[in-house]
Structure 1
């Protein structure tokens, strides 16, 4: 009634079959831990890290997008720097004697239009880092590029970014006002001298446009005349207030300016023209205009403004270059991190195919032996049938 040998052989065969099923699953899937039932702890870790790896893959895409935005802005800035450098060269040319400044302005106007085209065209995926509405935004706009996905020791996750501020140091044009590098209003002053002018008994200090002796001569196209501390270029009269420093003068019957009054050889009294005191004028790189009446001093002021703009643009380009380098380094790091995480997951859950294939072959052999043992155990019970044979 009870075949103990067959029962033992069957139990062994069942164990072999279970091992064979496991080995076949590992060989076919290539994984030692495929489900939570295989190893709950390892499966949980591997599942979490696979999820993080997918997030890192998205970070790589975001870094590529950010790099494209930075490269676009940098290319625009580089082109704009070349154009502004050309504008500076035109202003230098305008200081030459006898040059037609109006013709130079025609060239400058085209260069100014090119600056606008560059700023408008430096857009990638709907974002433009060379022009922004700074006035409405309170003076700055933050742009961010996704840099990494981080899971800390407590399991909390966060996304880290590389930030770049659009402000008056980095944006070429302010769409809401005039805070950009190229549309920022700058005070334009030529060479000037501060004088204490006495008008009606009240002495106040005024900044008056100053001219050198050579400039007075050039203004009269070589026909200017000098009479001690008085000079004229045929249009304007001048009073000498310091060494090689002249200011525009007016014929006076009194002495409104105690420091700069002078009586010429004809007995006329000349003093600083209080109606011609220089008021601070403003201009910007994108709106400046010169003509044949623009003085050398005013052009010098425009040159200072253009140089200031070039310094700001160069600094902004350097910032973009540094961010571009950082993004490249982060892309390389994320790619390496992705590989390392894949390797770490593999160590937890991947099957050793050499070992598993060897085990599978051994279990298949054991299965055949188990079947044979079960057959032998069953055949011993069949011997009883011999007793019932005739």
Structure 2
């Protein structure tokens, strides 16, 4: 038989413990509904939180990778645009050089052709010297561009320099090339022809590099989406489930309050025994 005591109300103690447990569960569910996450801090689930944080760091690192790839693609696109301009200028120079090989030209006509040729040559030099993006030039110098390829920084996509400066291995025309004589025009014509072929090959390589950077940037974007989805699977709450649980706990809370009220009233019943 249970002991009736005004000093120790066991029923009230049990009811209070159950109510406190319900209130704790209710607070957890309300937090999940408010934040949309079942793991919002390390105290919710230390292991899962640590994994999610690691993946968030990976996401941040991949943002830097995308930025690097985008800068590289912009630098390559500038190089391609300038290279195409150089190719167009060389095509015009070929026309001038070929015309200057005509032995029947008058001195004034040859001089006019030479002036046009020299002006086009200077435009090539100007185009190459100004073909840079954010300080990176792929048509001059020797550095090229190394775009980050992974979050650890251990892999890169390398784009080499296609140096189209005059007197180089691609544009073989000398910096002072002229067509003021038949012999000079003939020599210049051969150099222009080889330069056109070389520039076309360089543009093909730059185009391949641009495509590689774009393809990898798309891959990194998809990888970020996959990681973000994985993080969500780890920490996001099922709001439909939590909503149903909230209603159940609220009902349980109300019943717990009533149970505690009933348990607390049991001591007053003892007064009736002394009447």
Question: TM-score normalised to the size of structure 1?
Answer: 0.65
Select the structure of larger CA radius of gyration.
1
Whether 1:49 and 2:38 are equivalent positions in the alignment is no
Taking the TM superposition and a 5 Å limit, the aligned residue runs for 1:359-370 are 359-370=245-256
CA distance in 2, matches of 1:119, 1:180: 14
Which residue pairs with 1:110 in the alignment?
Answer: 119
CA distance in 1, matches of 2:169, 2:258: 90
On the 8 A contact 1:285/1:306 being kept in 2, the answer is no
Which residue pairs with 2:257 in the alignment?
Answer: 371
- Tell me the SS of whatever aligns to 2:155: strand
Deviations 1:142-170 (A, max 9, x none): 42122332xxxxxxx3342211222xxx2
On the 8 A contact 2:138/2:160 being kept in 1, the answer is no
Taking the TM superposition and a 5 Å limit, the aligned residue runs for 1:311-330 are 311-330=197-216
Question: TM-score normalised to the size of structure 2?
Answer: 0.91
> Pick from 128, 144, 147: which aligns with 1:145?
147
Which residue pairs with 1:171 in the alignment?
Answer: 163
C-alpha RMSD of the superposition: 1.7
Which of the two has greater helix per residue?
2
Q: Using the TM superposition, give the Cα deviation of residue 285 of structure 1 relative to its aligned residue in structure 2, in angstroms.
A: 4.2
Which of the two has greater strand per residue?
1
> Pick from 217, 222, 237: which aligns with 1:351?
237
Whether 1:101 and 2:110 are equivalent positions in the alignment is yes
Which residue pairs with 1:382 in the alignment?
Answer: 268
CA distance in 2, matches of 1:27, 1:3: 36
Which structure has more relative contact order (CA 8 Å, sep 6+)? It is 2
Deviations 1:205-257 (A, max 9, x none): xxxxxxxxxxxxxxxxxxxxxxxxxxxxxxxxxxxxxxxxxxxxxxxxxxxxx
Deviations 1:256-277 (A, max 9, x none): xxxxxxxxxxxxxxxxxxxxxx
Q: How many residues align?
A: 266
CA distance in 1, matches of 2:247, 2:64: 42
- Tell me the SS of whatever aligns to 2:150: strand
Deviates more, 1:37-46 or 1:349-358: 37-46
Deviations 1:140-199 (A, max 9, x none): 4342122332xxxxxxx3342211222xxx20127xxx54533x4xxxxxxxxxxxxxxx
Taking the TM superposition and a 5 Å limit, the aligned residue runs for 1:1-390 are 1-99=7-105, 100-132=109-141, 140-149=142-151, 157-166=152-161, 170-173=162-165, 178-182=167-171, 184=172, 284-292=173-181, 294-295=182-183, 299-388=185-274
On the 8 A contact 2:38/2:235 being kept in 1, the answer is yes
